[in-house]
Structure 1
Amino acid sequence: MSDLEEKKVETTPEVSPPAEEHVASTERPTGWMYRERKLGPITIPWYASPKVQLTMVSFVCFMCPGMFNALGGLGGGGKSDQTTADNMNIALYSTFAVFGFFGGSIVNRLGVKFTLAVGGLGYCIYAIALLVSVHSTHTSGFSIFAGALLGVCAGLLWTAQGTIMLSYPHEGSKGKYFAWFWSIFNLGGVIGALIPLGQNIHVKTNSTVTDGTYIAFIILMFVGAVIALFLCNASDVWREDDTRVVLMKNPTWKTELMGLYETILSEPYIILLFPMFWSSNWFTTYQTNAINGSYFDTRTKALNNVLYWSSQIIGAQVFGNALDSERFSRTVRAKACLVVLLVLTMVIWGGGYDFAKQYTRATVASADFVPMDWSHSGYVGIMFLYMFYGFYDAAWQGSTYWFMGALTNSGRKMANYVGFYKGIQSAGAAVMWSLDSRKVSFMAEFASNWALLTFSLLCAAPVIFIKVKDHVTIEEDLVFSDETLADVVPITHPEKVAV
């Protein structure tokens, strides 16, 4: 009998009867949500399965933040003047930082379905504000409000998404679930980028995209918010092995807010991951504004956008599946991942330095400057650099999520981890958008990225090398004073106590 099995047997007699909402039969229910369906030779999982639920969340993000990314990837939110978008993004990431921190508490309290639906609405309001700003110069108040509102909504949406993605799958599937989610999500960026590419295919100047582009984004974003309403509650989700996800029993605002404090108190090593969280959106401003938004004409910006988000899909698939490879232990995979990220940081950003030396803000602001078009000599090399930046983004995000998932299996703790991640990430982004709005030099932006990313990996090394284990037991996850095994584990079979 393995050590894990011994722990399960020892733990089972001590489990007190779970609350009524956690009582489960010895097998999966027979309602419509739990029936597999055949589509020819293909078996479609039951509606309340982790695979279907994560797919639906992926399409919510496909429609909402995916389209937002496609719009933002053009630089300046698709506008030739980047000032409005910069100010909106400062407001966005400032409120995002606050609600990212407390997003885990809100998700645990309100549930993932309504949190995602409310979160999705902010994206279409943001796109509406950009469209209005194209036709009026007196909408700065509405633009800032839309940015701040999106920060609140995005904080809720991304915390709910992260909680689902990291707590629904088993330990050995978290990387694959990330790859699946990130691919669908960034497919939204790809398709969203094809919209301005098709509508601006002949535009060889650096100009604002058409009204039709904004209208298409607004409609798609609204549809994404509606899709969220069709999700199941987390308490209804059953895995393939007849276990259910970790649930909290009627959390209160007090216990949830205390959870943030207790996470730091009981696991102070998580602070070493904060620089990695901070830098995870720091480079977005440089890539979208300093490179794509400033150096290229409108149609080439749109093409670069398509290639960038396509490269994200490749990066997600490569890292997500490699991190779940069973050929090596999880501890080995974690250490190897850190080393690979360090190598990629040196190689990709080293190539970026060679490109960054070629122009400045004064260069692109000059009346003699001709934006680069895909037909110009030298474009191919820069194109591949931009694609590698997209690949690197997915590798960084996927590794960060996987590292967090390797530290716990508890849905409650995961919500707090993701809340810290999104909050700190957004605070960093707010600072960088503010620096960009103040016209900090492109080289200073580049140097801050390269230095911060390298420093982040060095800070994270002790956590990766010491704290990541091959398996996290249930007992290790029960660190909160008001939490017991019966509170967090919905029992199906006593021998299958699992999270």
Structure 2
Amino acid sequence: MSGTMHTQDRGPGQTGLAPTPGSASSRSPSPIAKAKPFFRSVPFQIVVACGVSFTAPGMWDALGGLGAGGAAEPYAVSAANALGAVNNRIGLPYGLALGAIGYPLYGAGLYTNNVSANTWFMLFGSALCGISAGFFWAAEAAIIIGYPSPGDRAFYLAVWQTAKAAGPIVGGAINLGLNANRKTTGSVSSSTYIVFIVIMCLGLPIALCLSPAHKVWRKDGTVISTPRAPTWGAEFKAVEKLFASRRILLLLPAFFISYFYNGFISTWLATYFTVRSRAFSSFFTNFAGIFSSFMIATLLDNQKIHIKRRGCIAFVSIIFVLVGTWIWATVLQKQIYDASEPPAYDWFQGGFGKSYALVFFWQFGGQAFQQFLYWLVGQYATDLSDLSRHTGILRGTEALGQTVAWAMQSEGNANHFVSIGLNFGITVLCVFPTWLVLSALEGSHEENIASAERNLGDAEEEEIGSKAATYALGGWRNGFNSWLLLGLDCPYFLRNTQIPDYFLSDVVVSEDAMRGTAYSSATSVKRSGVNTSQMTRNAMEAIVVGRAASRTADGRGIGPSCTQIRVD
């Protein structure tokens, strides 16, 4: 079937339709939709982000599980707050790549300090890692929350938490294998650091596989909204404005305390557990975070429960676990201080079970709390740039909490009751302001996010369809420059017309743009005496633009509409 009319179907002086770009005139009558590449899909982007998370911060966490780490945190505090804006300007793929560079240098610094007490390179590596981590933290969270559709975010957050935990699990297995026979307290072997550095170096090449947001496709047809501030100054002003907003100010205590427990865990393990017990902990404890992540994801993605109720149930459950662990820690710490000498818990020896279970549930509740906060800020950000600013503030405040926690534990004679009291107190303090934010959460937030993304795609499709229709029909005389293609207001126009099925799934056109002069156009057709059936086929074939409207998220477009038209 050709997009040009046969001679007998033309009125006096009429010419055929000019073929439009992407029209069927240059294609087979049965066009096959081009397969979308998997490497542009959301799951692939999540795999890339999780791969970097596994190799870079995952190995960093594994080192922290042995009592090393924490030195990079002070340099990451301001960086994470500001670099969400920087990532918006340079793009998330570059932000993720820059974020992966610093971690191997940090591991190398720990190695040189371990073998030769060379502190300058350790501090240099820590500083670079902290700045690099700012890029990584802001980019990573924006990718995990912003690339998936709103209804899948909690699930992909759980996948991300699993990848973060997989790094320490693998690292813990390495630690366990290298240090299983060491029953004393002290530092780990230098070969442990070498293995970690090699794995950390894989983060950069993996990060380079990430696709830009505007090239990523989702299974539901929605696009990723990626508006960008026009200048660097405007971007930083947007971050400043967001930071001063009521919602962010209310959430700051929760952001601050969300990772505060990590500093005390490291001290707890280094003080009271043997090397192989710590290696066991660095391997097994991370399963707690995996369990809690998928448990909380199942609840938060359950569309049958109202979004506010989902959030409230999750938050109350998490606070219950966290408050319980700090009460438990208070009791155990009192027993330890009352003992004649501090214990050295070896695996599966006396006292190990009750002390290690506390570490397990710290991780269980802490990871669930972090995932909940990422999900919560994701409900209030309707585009990727805004989300990057939200996550940058979240990660920066989280890093500030870690910095304070590590600083408190740096003193050899630090009173552990102070750390326990601060963790308990700030956890309770964050309940009321976080509850206020949850109370303002309505189902409309999820709907607005999805609607905004669908509307962006619809606007692009309608603009293409309108231009294609105008171009295709512009050469018709007798009023055909504005007739309605499908004759929604003109039954005569479709009388005896059979529309091929493949058109119904591959046509994009703006119904509103074509509606205006249907009646006058129909009159012109009737008076001309031409074959309307053939003309309709030709015109439709000419304005095929290759994008299936029936595959858009809300089903708008010609595909579903045509099947409902009844012509008398």
Which TM-score applies when normalising by structure 1? 0.82
Could you say which residue in structure 2 is the equivalent of 1:481?
none
1:441 aligns with 2:421: no
Classify the secondary structure of the residue corresponding to 2:445: coil
1:234 aligns with 2:213: yes
Could you say which residue in structure 2 is the equivalent of 1:316?
293
Q: Cα offset for 1:106?
A: 1.3
State which drifts further: 427-436 or 298-307.
427-436
1:302 aligns with 2:275: no
Q: What amino acid sits opposite 1:317 in the alignment? A: F
Q: Cα offset for 1:448?
A: 0.8
Q: Is there any run of 5+ residues in structure 2 with no aligned partner, and where? A: 1-30, 463-548, 555-568
Could you say which residue in structure 1 is the equivalent of 2:56?
64
Contact 2:149 2:450 in 1 (8 A): no
CA offsets, 1:91-144, max 9 Å, x none? Answer: x2222111111121111111111211111111111110011001223x222222
Q: Cα offset for 1:490?
A: 8.3
Contact 1:122 1:153 in 2 (8 A): yes
Q: Cα offset for 1:352?
A: 2.1
- Cα distance change of structure 1 residues 49 and 355 upon mapping to structure 2, 3 Å threshold: same
- Cα distance change of structure 1 residues 252 and 28 upon mapping to structure 2, 3 Å threshold: farther
Aligned partner of 1:407 among 380, 385, 390: 380
1:152 aligns with 2:131: yes
1:354 aligns with 2:331: yes
1:74 aligns with 2:66: yes
1:278 aligns with 2:252: no
- Cα distance change of structure 1 residues 250 and 464 upon mapping to structure 2, 3 Å threshold: closer
Q: What amino acid sits opposite 1:288 in the alignment? A: S
Classify the secondary structure of the residue corresponding to 2:40: coil
Please show how residues 27-66 of structure 1 align to structure 2 within 5 Å: 30=34, 34-35=36-37, 46-66=38-58
Classify the secondary structure of the residue corresponding to 2:210: coil
Could you say which residue in structure 1 is the equivalent of 2:438?
464
Aligned partner of 1:110 among 86, 90, 95: 90
Could you say which residue in structure 1 is the equivalent of 2:403?
430
CA offsets, 1:358-401, max 9 Å, x none? Answer: 335x98xx9x6552101412212222221111111111111111
Q: Measure the CA separation in 1 of the matches of 2:334 and 2:32.
A: 61
Q: What amino acid sits opposite 1:94 in the alignment? A: P
Could you say which residue in structure 2 is the equivalent of 1:13?
none
Q: Cα offset for 1:279?
A: 0.8
Contact 1:100 1:155 in 2 (8 A): yes
Q: Measure the CA separation in 2 of the matches of 1:259 and 1:161.
A: 20
**Higher relative contact order (Cα pairs below 8 Å, separated by 6+ residues):** 1
Name which one, 1 or 2, has greater alpha-carbon Rg: 2
Could you say which residue in structure 1 is the equivalent of 2:162?
183
Q: Measure the CA separation in 1 of the matches of 2:216 and 2:229.
A: 17
1:199 aligns with 2:162: no
Q: What amino acid sits opposite 1:209 in the alignment? A: V
Q: Measure the CA separation in 1 of the matches of 2:91 and 2:32.
A: 22
1:325 aligns with 2:302: yes
- Cα distance change of structure 1 residues 421 and 140 upon mapping to structure 2, 3 Å threshold: same
State which drifts further: 191-200 or 403-412.
403-412
Aligned length: 435
Q: What amino acid sits opposite 2:402 in the alignment? A: A
Contact 1:407 1:468 in 2 (8 A): no
- Cα distance change of structure 1 residues 414 and 334 upon mapping to structure 2, 3 Å threshold: same
Classify the secondary structure of the residue corresponding to 1:471: helix
Q: Measure the CA separation in 1 of the matches of 2:358 and 2:342.
A: 21
Contact 2:220 2:553 in 1 (8 A): no
Contact 1:247 1:489 in 2 (8 A): no
Q: Measure the CA separation in 1 of the matches of 2:454 and 2:155.
A: 28
Q: Measure the CA separation in 2 of the matches of 1:295 and 1:177.
A: 36
Could you say which residue in structure 1 is the equivalent of 2:429?
455
Classify the secondary structure of the residue corresponding to 1:47: helix
CA offsets, 1:415-448, max 9 Å, x none? Answer: 1110110111111211221121134211111111
Classify the secondary structure of the residue corresponding to 2:304: coil
Aligned partner of 1:119 among 99, 102, 105: 99
Q: CA RMSD in A?
A: 2.6
Q: Measure the CA separation in 1 of the matches of 2:449 and 2:165.
A: 37
- Cα distance change of structure 1 residues 180 and 491 upon mapping to structure 2, 3 Å threshold: farther
Please show how residues 332-371 of structure 1 align to structure 2 within 5 Å: 332-360=309-337, 369=342, 371=344
Aligned partner of 2:144 among 165, 175, 178: 165
Q: Measure the CA separation in 2 of the matches of 1:186 and 1:131.
A: 23
Q: Cα offset for 1:152?
A: 0.7
Q: Measure the CA separation in 2 of the matches of 1:432 and 1:475.
A: 36
Classify the secondary structure of the residue corresponding to 2:285: helix
Contact 1:175 1:324 in 2 (8 A): yes
Q: Cα offset for 1:350?
A: 1.9
Aligned-residue sequence identity (percent) comes to 25
- Cα distance change of structure 1 residues 476 and 223 upon mapping to structure 2, 3 Å threshold: closer
State which drifts further: 349-358 or 209-218.
349-358
Contact 1:345 1:454 in 2 (8 A): no
Q: Measure the CA separation in 2 of the matches of 1:413 and 1:353.
A: 40
Q: What amino acid sits opposite 1:394 in the alignment? A: Q
Contact 1:331 1:470 in 2 (8 A): no
